[in-house]
C-alpha cells in the first residue's frame, strides 16, 4: 500500500465531540516524514478555510489520492506539534498493511456543467471541439456533443477540464480518457451523450478534480439541493 509523499495534499476527517456525530474535513500538506511520523501543515477546514485546535491524542482519518488514481486512507492521531520554518503538526503513520485502498469507481460523482476541450487523435477523425460535462468524478466524466462527431466505444480522447474554484480562480486538469458508453441523440438536432473513464492522469490533476467535486457537493448541500 502507498504512503503519502512529501509535498502531497491530504485530507483529515475529524469526528465532532457533540452528541450529534458529524465529520469535519480539513486539508493539509505533508512537509516531511521521519520514521513513522509525518509532518504536516496546520490543517484548514474545507468549509471555513480556518484552522482548528488539534491537541495530542486527537484521532482522525487521513485520506489522499495515490499515483494510481485510487483513494488511500488510514486511521491516525495527532502526536505532537512543532514550530520550525512554519508551524507543523505531527501525525502517526501506520504500517502499510493498515492502509485501505478504494478503487477509482468509488469516487464521488457529481452532476455539474464544466467546460472541457476534447481532442481525438485519429488518422481520419481528427476532432478537436469544446463541450460541457454532465457529471464528473475522479475516475471519469460524461459530456454531450453534436452527433457530427462520430465517436465510438473504446475511442481514446484527450480532455482538458476547466475547474472554477470557490475563490474565483479557474484551475485546469488534463486526462486521457477511454469512451465506455455512448447514447445517440434521441431526436435529430439534439446532442449525443458520451461517458468515459480516465486511463491516464497525473496525481495532481486528479486531486484537482476530486477537490472540485467535493466543493460542488458542499455547495449543493448548502443550497438544500442534496439531502
| Predicted confidence (pLDDT) per residue in 101-123, tens digit | 875 556 778 889 999 999 997 88
| Per-residue confidence (pLDDT) for residue 175, from 0 to 100 | 95
Nearest to 37 by CA among 97, 78, 84: 78
**Which CATH superfamily hosts domain 110-222?**
predicted glycosyltransferase like domains (2.40.10.220)
The model's pTM is 0.56
The pLDDT, as a whole number, for residue 103 is 57
108 by DSSP, 3-state: which? coil
Query: How far apart (Å, rounded) are the C-alpha atoms in residues 140 and 176?
Result: 10
Cβ neighbours for 7, distance < 8 A, ≥ 6 positions apart? 29, 30, 31
Each residue's pLDDT tens digit, 66-101 = 766 678 899 999 999 988 788 999 999 999 889 988
Full pLDDT tens readout for the chain, 227 residues = 688 889 988 999 887 655 444 668 889 999 999 989 999 999 998 777 788 888 889 999 999 877 666 788 999 999 999 887 889 999 999 998 899 887 555 677 888 999 999 999 788 899 999 999 999 998 899 999 998 999 999 999 999 999 987 777 888 999 999 999 999 887 777 899 999 999 998 878 888 898 888 888 877 777 764 44
pLDDT for 227 equals 42
Rounded-to-10 torsion of CA 40, 42, 46, 47: 170
Domain boundaries, the chain: 9-102, 110-222
**Homologous superfamily (CATH) for 9-102:** Electron Transport, Fmn-binding Protein; Chain A (2.30.110.10)
Amino acid at each position: 500500500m502507498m504512503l503519502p509523499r512529501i509535498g502531497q495534499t491530504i485530507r483529515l476527517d475529524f469526528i465532532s465531540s457533540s452528541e450529534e456525530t458529524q465529520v469535519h474535513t480539513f486539508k493539509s500538506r505533508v512537509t516531511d516524514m521521519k520514521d513513522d511520523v509525518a509532518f504536516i501543515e496546520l490543517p484548514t477546514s474545507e468549509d471555513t478555510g480556518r484552522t482548528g485546535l488539534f491537541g495530542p491524542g486527537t484521532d482522525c482519518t487521513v485520506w489522499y489520492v495515490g499515483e494510481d488514481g485510487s483513494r488511500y486512507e488510514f486511521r491516525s492521531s495527532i502526536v505532537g506539534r512543532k514550530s520550525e520554518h512554519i508551524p507543523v503538526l505531527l501525525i502517526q503513520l501506520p504500517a502499510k498493511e493498515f492502509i485501505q485502498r478504494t478503487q477509482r469507481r468509488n469516487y464521488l460523482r457529481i452532476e455539474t456543467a464544466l467546460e472541457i476541450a476534447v481532442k481525438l487523435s485519429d488518422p481520419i477523425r481528427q476532432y478537436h471541439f469544446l463541450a460541457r460535462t454532465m457529471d464528473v468524478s475522479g475516475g471519469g466524466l460524461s459530456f454531450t456533443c453534436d452527433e457530427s462527431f462520430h465517436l465510438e466505444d473504446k475511442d481514446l480522447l484527450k480532455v482538458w477540464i476547466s475547474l472554477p474554484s470557490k475563490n474565483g480562480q479557474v484551475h485546469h486538469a488534463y486526462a486521457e480518457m477511454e469512451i465506455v458508453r455512448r447514447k445517440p441523440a434521441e431526436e435529430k438536432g439534439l446532442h449525443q451523450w458520451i461517458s468515459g473513464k480516465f486511463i491516464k492522469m497525473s496525481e495532481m490533476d486528479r486531486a484537482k478534480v476530486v477537490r472540485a467535486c467535493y466543493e460542488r457537493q458542499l455547495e449543493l448541500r448548502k443550497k438544500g439541493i442534496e439531502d
